[in-house]
């Protein structure tokens, strides 16, 4: 029987990580692959994932995460950064990748490419950036579930100054914007939150079946 639901009950938004425990390279590769395989609109994956191990960089970012120590205590910090100002170049890159992986002539994908461009390009720039930012949350969900499968803790966080993160990491120069972050590592025994009962809505309050 699947242990998926057991793992989801086990996970929580860790408040204090054990800074002495590090994620192994094998487990990190598993998490990266889970993120890489995430669903995204049109399969375009209009984001990058920055993984920070360097304690000095994490310390630089800490003041702009409102002093939340998960940033520096966790083994790794995942930063999901959506691409901004997307257009034909990103779609053409996707078509080229599809052509190579599926061994199809690029011409066979022209119609699909035109369809995507017809959808993406008319969207106002601000709305387009919101759309790409939303895609990062799908990848974040995969990270949280994959981490739980390995009994690794992960805390999704929106409480940070994206503009300062962008400046420190040079993301703005790459047409990227830090959308959401997740410290990943192992819970500290002193984190009392791990003992709290999980609070969620009942099925009756959450689901509507028509």
CATH of the domain at 155: 3.40.109.10
pLDDT beyond 80 at 100: yes
Rounded to whole angstroms, the Cα distance separating 1 from 3 reads: 6
Residue 1 domain flag: no
- Judge whether 164 and 66 are in contact, CB under 8 Å: no
- Judge whether 36 and 13 are in contact, CB under 8 Å: no
* Exposure of 160 in the CB half-sphere (CA atoms within 13 A): 32
Residue 35 domain flag: yes
Residue 7 domain flag: no
Rounded to whole angstroms, the Cα distance separating 35 from 69 reads: 24
Residue 209 domain flag: no
> pLDDT category, 50, cuts 50, 70, 90?
very high
Phi-psi region of 138 (alpha: psi -120 to 50; beta: other; left: phi over 0): alpha
181-201 pLDDT, tens digit per residue, is 999 999 999 999 999 999 999
Residue 56 domain flag: yes
pTM of the predicted model, to two decimals?
Answer: 0.96
Helix, strand, or coil (residue 150): coil
* pLDDT for 2: 73
List CB contacts of 105: < 8 A, sequence separation 6 or more. 99
CB atoms within 10 A of CB 12: 18
139-169 pLDDT, tens digit per residue, is 999 999 999 999 999 999 999 999 999 999 9
* pLDDT for 204: 97
Residue 74 domain flag: yes
Number of independent structural domains in the chain: 1
Residue 129 domain flag: yes
The domain of 76 spans: 18-84+125-190
Residue 12 domain flag: no
- Residue whose token pair is 């086990």: 10
């Amino acid at each position: 029987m699947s242990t998926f639901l057991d793992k989801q009950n086990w996970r929580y938004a860790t408040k204090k990580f054990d800074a002495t425990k590090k994620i192994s390279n094998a487990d990190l590769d598993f998490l990266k692959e889970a993120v890489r395989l995430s669903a995204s609109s049109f399969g375009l994956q209009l984001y990058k994932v920055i993984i920070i191990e360097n304690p000095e960089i994490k310390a630089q970012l800490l003041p702009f995460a409102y002093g939340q120590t998960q940033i520096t205590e966790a083994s790794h910090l995942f930063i999901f950064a959506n691409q901004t100002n997307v257009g034909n170049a990103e779609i053409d890159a996707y078509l080229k990748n599809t052509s190579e992986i599926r061994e199809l002539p690029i011409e066979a994908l022209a119609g699909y490419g035109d369809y995507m461009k017809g959808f993406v390009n008319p969207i106002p720039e601000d709305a387009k950036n919101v759309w790409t930012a939303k895609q990062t949350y799908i990848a974040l969900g995969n990270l949280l579930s994959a981490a739980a499968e390995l009994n690794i803790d992960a805390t999704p966080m929106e409480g940070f100054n994206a503009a300062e993160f962008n400046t420190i990491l040079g993301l703005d120069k790459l047409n990227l914007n830090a959308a959401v972050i997740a410290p990943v590592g192992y819970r500290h025994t002193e984190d009392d939150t791990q003992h709290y009962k999980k609070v969620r809505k009942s099925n009756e309050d959450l689901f509507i079946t028509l």
